[in-house]
Amino acid sequence: MPAVLEIEGLRKTYKSRRRGTRNALDGFDMRVSAGQVHGFLGPNGSGKTTTLRTLLGLIRPNGGRMSILGHEVPEALPTVAGQVGAIVESPQFFPHFTARDTLSLLASAGEVPATRVDEVLELVGLRDRAGERVKTYSLGMKQRLAVASALLKKPKLLILDEPANGLDPGGIREMRTLMRNLSESGMTVVLSSHILGEIQLICDSVTIISLGRRVAFGPVDEVLAQHSSGAVRVRLEAVTDLPAATEALTRAGIRVTGQPDHLMLGGVDKPATVTRLLAEQGLYVSELAPIAVDLESVFLELTSTAPVPGQHRQVDQSTKVGGSEQSGTAGGGWGA
């Protein structure tokens, strides 16, 4: 599939006389194929919003290459802007205008037919509240309005930064359905979110960023498979057989962690091997369950942002690709 969005070696450095240099983006790469819903994940301060802002011409990069729909940006942004709908970070609108006025002014600036305003208001469920001032809206309603503004120009590429932020459960489900429908209609959607369960449900592929660099990318299934630990839970008919089973499995080179009523095995390629080994010793398995990984655990593992009891993780403490250090100051941190 052709790439709708390509980023190679993107760099953005912030210099501060007091705090030194911080690499917000440190050679970041990303590729999104046409017609996909692509999840863009990363811990707070990892460079997600900086990437999106840079891509949309709001921030000037220090290096790297970006293209949207085959056009190099930011140079060709005026050409492609009509085909890119985006919301970046929290929805921000002039509080004293109504939703209809807000969209109508945007439509007029972008030379979009005025009839499209009612279509998108209907689509995001704001039809009946369109005449009210934005300042009276809840966060979720503002979020819907932001999505409506992004959809106004019927974009080929839709970039949404935290679109589910502030939505109620029904709204989140509606948003999920909307994303899926948009994707099926041929639109490419880039979705930045921290609701990883949603991303896993909605997205075809993901890119995970940490400290300004890509740490994982590809179809969701592949990313999960790559980071599956091969863990298997084994229960035997008799708990008293657990020590003998531990010994047999360890001899066969399998990592075993004993629990009071079961064993946790690591590095198991084929669970059938376990059954055969134990059967040869006259030990019979009552449960053999591969432990599935989810996107959240992969994310936490890759970015090293899993909470540790007794520790307070700081915003910039996460993983930089190519090294396993918990980085707070090195590389991407202030003063680097």
Partner 1 sequence: MSLYRTELRRLTKRRFTRYMTLLGLLVLAAVVVGMFFSNQKIDAAAHARAERQAEQQYQDQLRYTEQERAACEQAEAAGTKDGNRFPPQCDMITAPPREAFQAEWFLPSTFDFRKSFGEMLIPFAAILGLVGFVVGASFIGAEWSSGGMMNLLLWRPKRLTVLLSKLAALLTGAFALTVSAGLLWYGGFWLVALFRGSTEKVTSGVWQSLALTGLRGLVLVLAATTIGFALASLGRHTAMALGGVVALLVVGQFGLGILLSMARIPFVEAWLLPTYAAAWMQKKVTLENWEACNATFTGECKPETFDITWQQSSVMLVVGVAVILGGALWAMRRRDIS
Does 271 bind partner 1 (CB under 8 A)? Our answer is no
16 touches partner 1 (CB under 8 A): no
Q: Are 8 and 64 in contact (CB under 8 A)?
A: yes
Structure tokens at 8: 């190679």
**Residue 164 beta carbon to partner 1: minimum distance, rounded to whole angstroms:** 19
Among 15, 18, 60, 312, binds partner 1 (CB under 8 A): 60
Our finding on whether 166 is near partner 1 (CB under 8 A) is no
Strand partners, 289: 233
Q: Which of 55, 242 has the CB closer to partner 1?
A: 55
Q: Find the DSSP H helices in the chain.
A: 48-55, 77-80, 99-109, 115-123, 139-151, 169-184, 196-202, 220-226, 242-251, 271-280, 295-303
- 323: Cα separation from own chain's centroid: 21
Q: Is 201 in the site for partner 1 (CB under 8 A)?
A: no
Contact letters (x/-) for partner 1, 109-138, by CB under 8 A?
xxx---------------------------
**157 phi/psi in degrees, rounded to 5:** -125, 125
Cβ nearer to partner 1, comparing 70 with 258: 70
Is 97 among the residues that bind partner 1 (CB under 8 A)? yes
User: Biggest alpha carbon distance in the chain?
Assistant: 78
Find where tokens 């993983």 sit. Answer: 319
Contact in structure between 153 and 117 (CB atoms under 8 Å): no
Confirm or reject binding of residue 62 to partner 1 (CB under 8 A): no
CB 78, min distance to partner 1, A: 6
Confirm or reject binding of residue 25 to partner 1 (CB under 8 A). Answer: no
CB of residue 58 vs partner 1: minimum separation in angstroms?
Answer: 4
Pick the binder of partner 1 from 34, 106, 264, 277 (CB under 8 A): 106
* Shortest distance in whole angstroms from residue 161 CB to partner 1: 11
The bridge status of strand 188-192 relative to strand 37-41 is parallel
Q: How far is the CB of 298 from partner 1 (least distance, A)?
A: 30
| Secondary structure (DSSP) of 154-221 | --SEEEEESTTTT--HHHHHHHHHHHHHHHHTT-EEEEE-S-HHHHHHH-SEEEEEETTEEEEEEEHH
Residue 261 lies near partner 1 (rule: CB under 8 A): no
Cα(3)–Cα(43) distance, integer angstroms: 25
Cα distances (angstroms) measured from residue 158 to each of 37, 88, 232, 317: 9, 11, 40, 30
Question: How many chain residues are in contact with partner 1, going by CB under 8 A?
Answer: 29
Residue 153 interacts with partner 1 (CB under 8 A): yes or no: yes
For partner 1, which residue of 57, 125, 219, 230 counts as binding (CB under 8 A)? 57
| 269 contacts partner 1 (rule: CB under 8 A) | no
CA–CA separation, 256 and 265 (whole Å) = 5
User: 15, 5 in Cβ contact below 8 A?
Assistant: no
Asked whether the beta carbons of 178 and 189 are under 8 A apart, the reply is no
Contact status: 327 vs partner 1 (CB under 8 A):
no
Taking contact as CB under 8 A, which single stretch among the options 74-82, 248-256, 305-313, 321-329 is the one that binds partner 1?
Answer: 74-82
| 1 lies in the binding site for partner 1 (CB under 8 A) | no
231 contacts partner 1 (rule: CB under 8 A): no
* Dist CA 297 CA 274 (whole Å): 25
For position 93 contacting partner 1 by CB under 8 A, the verdict is yes
Is 78 a binder of partner 1 (CB under 8 A)?
yes
User: Least CB distance from residue 59 to partner 1, whole Å?
Assistant: 4
Interface with partner 1, residue 86, by CB under 8 A: yes
CB of 152 to partner 1, least distance (A): 9
- The angle subtended at Cα 153 by Cα 130 and Cα 8, nearest 5°, is 125
User: Could you list the residues that contact partner 1 (CB under 8 A)?
Assistant: 53, 56-60, 74, 77-78, 81, 84, 86, 88, 91-97, 101, 105-106, 108-111, 149, 153
